[in-house]
Amino acid sequence: MKNCATTETEKVLACLSNADPIFWINPQCLENDRVPEDLGFDLTDVLEAEARLGRFAPVLAALFPELESAGGIIESDLAVAHGFRKQMSAEVSACFQGHLLIKCDHALPVAGSIKARGGIYAVLCFAEQLALANGLLDLSLKDFTPLLSSRARSVFARYTLSVASTGNLGLSVGIMGAGLGFSVNVFMSTEAKEWKKTRLRDRGVRVIEDGSDFTAACISAREEAAADNRTHFIDDENSTQLFMGYSVAALRLKRQLIDLGYNIGPESPLFLYLPCGVGGGAGGITFGSKMVFGEHVHCFLAEPVQAPCVTLGMITGKHSNISVYDIGLTLDTDADGLAVSRPSTFVGQLMSSLASGGYTMTDKAMYDYLIDAWQSEEIEIEPSAAAGFDGPVRLLQSDEGIRYLQKKGLADKMDQAVHVVWTTGGSFVPASEHALYRKKALTDKPKK
Ligand SMILES: *Cc1c(COP(=O)(O)O)cnc(C)c1O
């Protein structure tokens, strides 16, 4: 195929299989002037998820002291990236237009990554279901604190939560599940970091490793759970609960933007740059944002050159029926949170009508941004979480990006554009690991 690429799609696929960075505009989204209505979910689902998180807030505040001041709501800051904007090279700065913000999910409490949204929400859904089935809750009282009782704990202790993870989802489900009194099994894929496993084992979580990738770990976990009716599998490849947990971020983002004085609308478009693995996190936030901001938000999914599973699925239309191995890629990346070979079954399809596009980047580029973020903003992120930083430049500088802005009638509105780079993980990474990341970033970085 590399020698006879003729159509646009073939050209992009040739680049993808060559592990060359691409910036791809989703033609379906380009043509839609409005958000499609028949998605199978709507704003009501997002609001319902937010309401559930609100009901559980007193429970979370009691379990996790770091949530006390926020009343049990797990949320991250939205920060104006003054420092990062200032240290851009003259070349990049010359083409940059609009406002640059960072959505600091790297510092989300309880789990230290974006998985504190979906993973924790999925555990709460199951806990609520069990509590209702066992008469632990009276919904009319709206008081969820009985879930902290020893009676509730003894019910939860009879059940096992199971999950497959590249690391961070395991951390979030493990911490939340163990907090409520569940047994938790985490099937870790081969790229999961040692410290994540240790942290879980210290909380009594069973960590299972068989040296397989994320897709294979999902299969093992799913099989084990199917054989035991007291095991509940949180399925990152299929879970609408995870997805809805993530989607709530959009409601919170809207309030934070208003607080900072940004009014998203026809004259002030919003651009989100979302590091993407299986697609649940990035997809859930894309979905929620489309429900909240409509056609005024433009979402781009960021993936490593060796693991572009969601973008590959959208380009080919094959979604979870194609894997990055099928086009000769290896999944070899330091961005462990994004090291996924096949997308979520339903998220990939949904993204076909919602995501504006996707782009891929090398590990080296992620390390460059990791160090830039540290030097300019003093934020410590993991390599996966740096992938969003490349988005604004790619949109504003690439032919594809410029064409997108023209086609959408946004080219002359970009001075008022709001770019939000989503940093998705890092605050739990031990200091010694951060030091290693920085060392690696600086060793590989050419002197400017
Ligand atoms: C899991 C993860 C993502 C992506 O989330 P998906 O749901 O897999 O798309 C991004 N960044 C980090 C740090 C993650 O752990």
pLDDT at 5: 55
Q: Which atom belonging to ligand 1 lies closest to the Cα atom of 167?
A: 15
pLDDT at 446: 56
Q: Which atom belonging to ligand 1 lies closest to the Cα atom of 281?
A: 7
Q: What is the mean pLDDT of the chain?
A: 95
Please determine, for residue 2, whether its predicted confidence score (pLDDT) is greater than 70: no
pLDDT at 219: 95
Contacts of 56 (CB under 8 A, 6+ apart): 72, 124, 128, 144, 147
Closest residue by Cα to atom 2, ligand 1, is 337
How big is the CA angle at 35 (ends 32 and 39), to the nearest 5 degrees? 115
Tell me the sheet residues that pair with 234.
Answer: 163
Share of the chain above pLDDT 70, in %: 98
Rounded to an integer, what distance in angstroms lies between the CA atom of residue 234 and that of residue 344? 13
Rounded to an integer, what distance in angstroms lies between the CA atom of residue 411 and that of residue 60? 44
In short, whether 245's Cβ falls inside 6 Å of ligand 1 is no
Residue 139 banded pLDDT, cuts 50, 70, 90: confident
Residue 8 banded pLDDT, cuts 50, 70, 90: confident
In short, whether 114's Cβ falls inside 6 Å of ligand 1 is yes
pLDDT at 448: 45
Task: Tell how far the Cα of 381 is from the centroid of ligand 1, in angstroms.
Answer: 13
In short, whether 385's Cβ falls inside 6 Å of ligand 1 is yes
Please determine, for residue 423, whether its predicted confidence score (pLDDT) is greater than 70: yes
Measured CA to CA in angstroms, residue 57 lies from 253, 292, 428 at distances of 18, 23, 22
Longest dimension (CA), the chain: 67
DSSP classification of residue 77: -
Closest residue by Cα to atom 15, ligand 1, is 337
Mutate to test the pocket of ligand 1, among 105, 106, 113, 381 (most ligand atoms within 8 A of CB): 113
Mutate to test the pocket of ligand 1, among 338, 344, 354 (most ligand atoms within 8 A of CB): 338
User: Which tens digit of pLDDT belongs to each residue from 216-244?
Assistant: 999 999 999 999 999 999 999 999 999 99
Please determine, for residue 270, whether its predicted confidence score (pLDDT) is greater than 60: yes
Rounded to an integer, what distance in angstroms lies between the CA atom of residue 249 and that of residue 394? 24
Contact 426, 106 (CB under 8 A): yes
Dihedral angle sign, alpha carbons of residues 317, 322, 323, 324: negative
In short, whether 237's Cβ falls inside 6 Å of ligand 1 is no
In short, whether 278's Cβ falls inside 6 Å of ligand 1 is yes
In short, whether 355's Cβ falls inside 6 Å of ligand 1 is no
In short, whether 380's Cβ falls inside 6 Å of ligand 1 is no
Share of the chain above pLDDT 90, in %: 92
Residue 1 banded pLDDT, cuts 50, 70, 90: very low
Compute the residue count for the chain: 448
Contacts of 407 (CB under 8 A, 6+ apart): 30
Please determine, for residue 59, whether its predicted confidence score (pLDDT) is greater than 90: yes
The burial of 139, by beta-carbon neighbours within 10 Å (0-12 exposed, 13-18 middle, 19 or more buried), is given as exposed
Contact 55, 124 (CB under 8 A): no
User: Which tens digit of pLDDT belongs to each residue from 90-132?
Assistant: 888 999 999 999 999 999 999 999 999 999 999 999 999 999 9
Closest residue by Cα to atom 5, ligand 1, is 281
Q: Of 342, 368, 360, 383, nearest to 306 (Cα)?
A: 360
Closest residue by Cα to atom 12, ligand 1, is 337
**Which stretches of 373-431 are assigned E, i.e. beta strand?**
418-423
User: Which tens digit of pLDDT belongs to each residue from 149-185?
Assistant: 999 999 999 999 999 999 999 999 999 999 999 999 9
Task: Tell how far the Cα of 281 is from the centroid of ligand 1, in angstroms.
Answer: 6
User: Which tens digit of pLDDT belongs to each residue from 330-383?
Assistant: 999 999 999 999 999 999 999 999 999 999 999 999 999 999 999 999 999 999
Label the pairing between strands 206-209 and 297-304.
unpaired
Rounded to an integer, what distance in angstroms lies between the CA atom of residue 408 and that of residue 212? 43
Rounded to an integer, what distance in angstroms lies between the CA atom of residue 359 and that of residue 302? 5
Task: Tell how far the Cα of 427 is from the centroid of ligand 1, in angstroms.
Answer: 14
pLDDT at 89: 87
In short, whether 343's Cβ falls inside 6 Å of ligand 1 is no
In short, whether 281's Cβ falls inside 6 Å of ligand 1 is yes
Contact 131, 110 (CB under 8 A): no
Task: Tell how far the Cα of 154 is from the centroid of ligand 1, in angstroms.
Answer: 32
**Residue 254, both tokens:** 């809207």
What single letter denotes the amino acid at residue 257? L
